[in-house]
Amino acid sequence: PTIGLAMGERGLISRILCAKFGGFLTFGALESGIHSAPGQPTLRDLLDLYNFRQIGPDTKVHGVIGNPIGHSKSPHLYNTAFKKAAFNGIYLPLLVDNVANFLNTYSSPDFTGYSYTIPHKMAGLECCDEVDPIAKAIGAISCVIKKPSDGKLIGYNVDYLGAIAAIEEGLGGSSSASNGSVSPLAGR
């Protein structure tokens, strides 16, 4: 038997997903800054952020694809939401150089959706089987869902919603979606 745990920021996925793929154990640092290997998560992150004890063969894998990625708050947001909703999923920071290579390597049905951040929003669009018309018009995606029926990757861009809301707020209006009023950007 072998226990394979990769090191560094790229190795985090192996340290967390080992529980999903039959790994016997992983290692966690007692506290931040005192690691026995580069990329080792803290015990607190393993247990609280990544809900390590609940990860198993049926856990669905999601993540944010970017480079750099260590600064992303998305794992905190999504893993907290997954836990509160009792959803059997994990959301990981994924340090990726080449989106196409990553998606080909991690193409199993276990990997079901991704968020995209800089610099991969345009490269991610090129890897999609289908692209939402708004994302196509923008020329970039911010998230991808893998269809369970056939594994096709469907790309969307939802960043524009936040941008429009911020612009509307700055113009003195409020989001028309929240109060039924007409957007100050209507017709522009």
Nearest to 91 by CA among 71, 107, 73: 73
Task: Say if residues 122 and 104 touch (Cβ distance below 8 Å).
Answer: no
The answer to whether the beta carbons of residues 46 and 26 sit under 8 Å apart is yes
Establish whether 121 is a catalytic residue.
yes
Catalytic residue among 20, 121, 146, 152: 121
User: 93 pairs with which residues across the strands?
Assistant: 64
Paired tokens of 98: 């080449």
Query: Taking a C-beta distance cutoff of 8 angstroms, is the pair 39, 8 a contact?
Result: yes
Tell me which residues are annotated as active site: 121
